Structure 1
């Protein structure tokens, strides 16, 4: 079958030529170029805005981390100083004398007479609770940018240890007041001071338990404060490494060094806290 050829409509041909001419005109070329440029401009502006926001986030995070390093180190160092000057000498004398008191008290409970040469000195010196920037530490840590979960857990441990330490110091102070106010025999005073059984079978261990708690929680404050300082210092280094790619001028990382108290044995060993540390191993 032969398909007949139909001449195109002259009007349509002329209209199509006018459209082609319009599309190829300088106006359309400029319009399309401007449209493309506007799209690239919006994309570029968005990239600049995102980069600026990221740079500010990292800079804030670094500054917050540096502040936390200083605060955590301050708390740990105060606990270490208190331990060295007061807690360690006091507790060492107390627990050493308690060993002798246990032997003497065993003789008493068996009906014998204690050696007349045995004498004990009750340490009635008050301990002042630590005054540390725990509120500032908490405020910065809980509002900080990009703070690792392990660091937040360490902040909670520092706060809890300080609270328990203060409670133990308060109990000891009240026990000292009680010792001074009551009139009992030297035998009962010795038994209650060292937390030993009396002839009636009762045991008043409040003073002894407070001494144990003060010793333990002082170590806890020192250890967790130092661990927090180290953790946040490492976090600050990671943040700074990311920030140098976005900014020309970047603050340095605040650094602390606990090698001396660790080496001297003043800082409690990590093995003592292995169960806690194991729960956060490899976590950020």
Structure 2
């Protein structure tokens, strides 16, 4: 150590020793006590105010999340209701009568007495108008406003694709119906039934366009209904979990998750078969909840105590 540094430190010690009584009196003075108390109060008050503000902000975030989730559920419910109405009023009756007529026509054509029997059927050429579904509004909730991940994000894409599929195949069906009605060719009229039902004709040709398009409209409608209902289920679970977080921090709240039931459509046979969509149900599994350090320590301690107790008993 440098000599001058030693001298400086020695001088400082001497100075503090000489002024100690004054320093002690100043530290115990009313001014110092008040100043330090005010400073501690200010720091403590600022910390408390920050905690209160953060708590209020978190509370507002949870409430907003529940409100937005319920709003998204309402949009999805309106969408699935429109799709179920379309299926009940138009698509299912048309498809049911078509399949029945096709079966009867096929059996009649296979009969050895077909030349002696007149085959009569009614071609249902009703044009369909798909409902206007607010997929953009629903997408803005799930992708932008809500804190959601995993399956709901994939469901939005699948639902949008199914709705576009309904529109596309239905337009093709309506166009094909228009061509059927305006085709005055005698050769076409003689084989109109085979073309309508997609059955192999006498010359070996087979036109399955109408059959395929009607099945496509039916299947795409089922897809949209299933994806929309599954999304509603995920939205309900998300709102329920958010509600649990809210009640754990702030007690019982005023917002409840919106729950929709589809008992009547189920009884009417309008709901899609879930077996067709098993991958969507089983592929997205929640990760196990990560335990905190305290919980891991508790589990370890219980295990160790159990081992020792078992050893003593043995």
Fold-level match, TM-score > 0.5? yes
Q: Residues of 1 paired with 2:280 and 2:82: CA distance?
A: 23
Shift of 1:247: 7.1
Partner of residue 91, structure 2:
87
1:50 aligns with 2:54: yes
Q: Residues of 2 paired with 1:123 and 1:10: CA distance?
A: 112
Partner of residue 174, structure 1:
175
Moved more, 234-243 or 56-65: 234-243
1:192 aligns with 2:202: no
Structure 1 unaligned residues grouped into runs of 5+: 1-8
Shift of 1:216: 0.8
Give the length in aligned residue pairs: 273
Shift of 1:103: 4.5
Give the alignment of 1:1-284 within 5 angstroms. Answer: 13-103=17-107, 114=115, 116-182=117-183, 183=185, 184-244=187-247, 245-246=249-250, 250-282=254-286
TM-score normalised according to structure 2 size: 0.78
TM-score normalised according to structure 1 size: 0.85
In 2 relative to 1, CA 242–278 (structure 1 residues): closer, same or farther, beyond 3 Å? same
Bigger fraction of residues in helix:
2
Q: Residues of 2 paired with 1:142 and 1:158: CA distance?
A: 13
Contact kept in structure 2, 1:76 and 1:224, CA below 8 Å? no
Report 1 or 2 for greater relative contact order, CA contacts < 8 Å, sequence distance ≥ 6.
1
Q: Deviations over 1:12-39 (max 9, x none)?
A: 6431221222222222222222222222
In 2 relative to 1, CA 193–59 (structure 1 residues): closer, same or farther, beyond 3 Å? same
Contact kept in structure 1, 2:142 and 2:153, CA below 8 Å? yes
Moved more, 130-139 or 174-183: 130-139
Shift of 1:11: 6.7
Q: Residues of 1 paired with 2:111 and 2:286: CA distance?
A: 53
Q: Residues of 2 paired with 1:71 and 1:13: CA distance?
A: 79
Q: Residues of 2 paired with 1:218 and 1:23: CA distance?
A: 82
Helix, strand or coil for the counterpart of 1:210?
Answer: helix
Q: Deviations over 1:43-84 (max 9, x none)?
A: 112211211221121111111111111111111111111111
In 2 relative to 1, CA 115–54 (structure 1 residues): closer, same or farther, beyond 3 Å? farther
In 2 relative to 1, CA 263–249 (structure 1 residues): closer, same or farther, beyond 3 Å? same
Contact kept in structure 2, 1:141 and 1:152, CA below 8 Å? yes
Give the root-mean-square deviation of aligned CA atoms.
2.6
Q: Residues of 1 paired with 2:214 and 2:234: CA distance?
A: 30
Structure 2 unaligned residues grouped into runs of 5+: 1-12, 289-314
In 2 relative to 1, CA 116–193 (structure 1 residues): closer, same or farther, beyond 3 Å? same
Moved more, 179-188 or 83-92: 179-188
Partner of residue 3, structure 2:
none
Shift of 1:203: 2.6
Helix, strand or coil for the counterpart of 1:161?
Answer: helix
